[in-house]
Structure 1
């Protein structure tokens, strides 16, 4: 065990499921055709792409035409936010988001501010949840959309998505969610939750890196009103040009198929592991969980430990993979913007660890960790 890596950073990325790899391999070597080509090799790849879209749409309860492939959630977020805001037909100049969003949303919104858009960054309570009444009061007649993350990547806090979408729609605004940490782990029914736009990635759910999806609700959003960020070939109905990454798409579809079939079983097993390590760490006097205890993802524990430096711990324990925040900021030794927004001091934030458990972890690893 001393020489093995104990990987507890599954919110950053997950290991590839071997079944996903097996599904991908033929499309690297044998079935390598371009899915846009009209010959038989191309048609075979096109069929595989459509099958993957079917698996993805089944997982989130959408139509396959509502799925656009991207390089990941970050690109999906950029296409959605910039594409809607900057389209010539758009006259609304206000967007509502939250201070604890992923940097992909926050930095994109900051850019939009430089070109004339007004952005309201909602605060969160100490438990990481937004105040729904404050959201309702913040939405204006010229609010283009409300953009709020489904599951926070650092704390696992789950926002009340259904209520949020209802408030947005009642005011005549669109609702968009970054569901990167949610899809494949909890039910993410886009119809049941009245979602207009949703972004997610394969590598958070045991699929390959470099592939993600953008869901656009065909009943509420006209894709022609989303300005493409890149042009050339008109792929993906003109929204995202470029030759499709067939092996990654096939892997994405397989990961969604597996998640659809195994999500409930994984949730039960992982929750048990999470609770075990949480109970052990809470025995340390002065420790406390960051974020809502009741409204959080079953695999995530963000815990503040007294007289503790997370950066030093991570540096010393080379065979243990945990996080002191989001992977996009992992190289920066600074307080987490998420924990700061929740009211933690700088010392408390720097003394907090994010432990995110996956389906490939086991009890012996966690006991060793403690």
Structure 2
């Protein structure tokens, strides 16, 4: 299926020549290549393979360590490239904007990082990602690699969407990559690494609210129209529609609604501890995210839930979409220990 068709636009909307779009890019056709060049220039601790479109650790894989690989369409930065490094990912596979990486990319990442202990793939639940990572895993298995997959499906907004069968994978990806990466760094087996990733995913739920739509560079206009006084509740990170459109209200009211929505489908109960991620969708000032986090913390306290660890900022974005998502992970002692474990990536660092 042509990529323009996936985003609900017609042939007349396809870019003609060098269509001008108000973004800091050179050309819509070279966004991924230019992104990779910028990452390579900014982060010498990373190795950027422009031929296979991979981001790897410059130091390479440690013998006997399970390799952790993830990836997805560009436009969600810093996911996944920003989390490559000790304590988290061994490699990231970026696709074109909002488009899954192809199987050859993932297979190249497996070959480049497997040091003999096997590979664990962290895959967000989008149809293209699932199919392409699965095909790469099958090809890798034929070549003697041991590959396991952790599927992230934390979004409670919809059960089935434009891009998925089942819940979408969103903010919990960061939690899964952090705890699985920490365990892999300690020398755990592929079975153990995949198991803790699956447990972190099962303990996590997310929900997002958009104030505006994202503009894909090759399209040149927002993915949907949203009046100034309306929000999209339950939006997806590719601009997929959510549960409903609502009136814009004060942050404390929106935060309370999001907390209650997440808790309605979450194993968190009064007396539990949580890892709380208030994530910007790409165009939300940090000031506003902290306003939201304060309201989230107050609402969780009303439910008797303690925030044990927190993260506020842009981690799983949707280009220039304004809004936020909330991810809550029920935290047990092991997950907290792995969350606190050392990490040294471009975006997330633990001493």
Higher helix fraction (1 or 2): 1
Q: Bigger radius of gyration, 1 or 2?
A: 1
Fold shared, TM-score > 0.5 on shorter chain? no
Higher strand fraction (1 or 2): 2
- Higher RCO (C-alpha under 8 Å, 6+ residues apart): 1
Instruction: Give TM-score, length-normalised by structure 1.
Output: 0.30
Instruction: Give TM-score, length-normalised by structure 2.
Output: 0.31
